[in-house]
Amino acid sequence: MTDVTPRLASRVRRDFPEPGSADALIGRLAKVDEGERVQAAVVLWARGDLGRFDDSLALCQVDWRDVLVRGGLADDDWPERLDAELGISA
């Protein structure tokens, strides 16, 4: 398991505001062992849609690189894009 960073957890809470849903999704994201970049790609692709979130989590099991493409974090500028989407990490 990989901890979900505070900035990503904040984004999950913003995108999935229903009571209790964000905490459950954060727990599921923590099972993605490839780190914040892949976890964030799942959230960015989902855009608040649980079906898209589930689909991207399933795709992580097949090929996490496809999740990066979906989430817009596959190119060399991914650190800047991640900071733009989640805020600059401390």
Average pLDDT taken over every residue of the chain: 94
In this prediction, residue 2 carries a pLDDT of 80
In the predicted model, what is the mean pLDDT of residues 35-60? 96
Query: What is d(CA 36, CA 5) in angstroms, rounded to the nearest whole number?
Result: 7
DSSP string, 68-90: HHHHT--STTHHHHHHHHH----
- State the burial class of residue 16 (Cβ atoms within 10 Å of its Cβ: 0-12, 13-18, 19+): buried
88 pLDDT band, cuts 50/70/90, is: confident
Answer whether residue 61 shows pLDDT above 60.
yes
Answer whether residue 90 shows pLDDT above 70.
no
Answer whether residue 86 shows pLDDT above 70.
yes
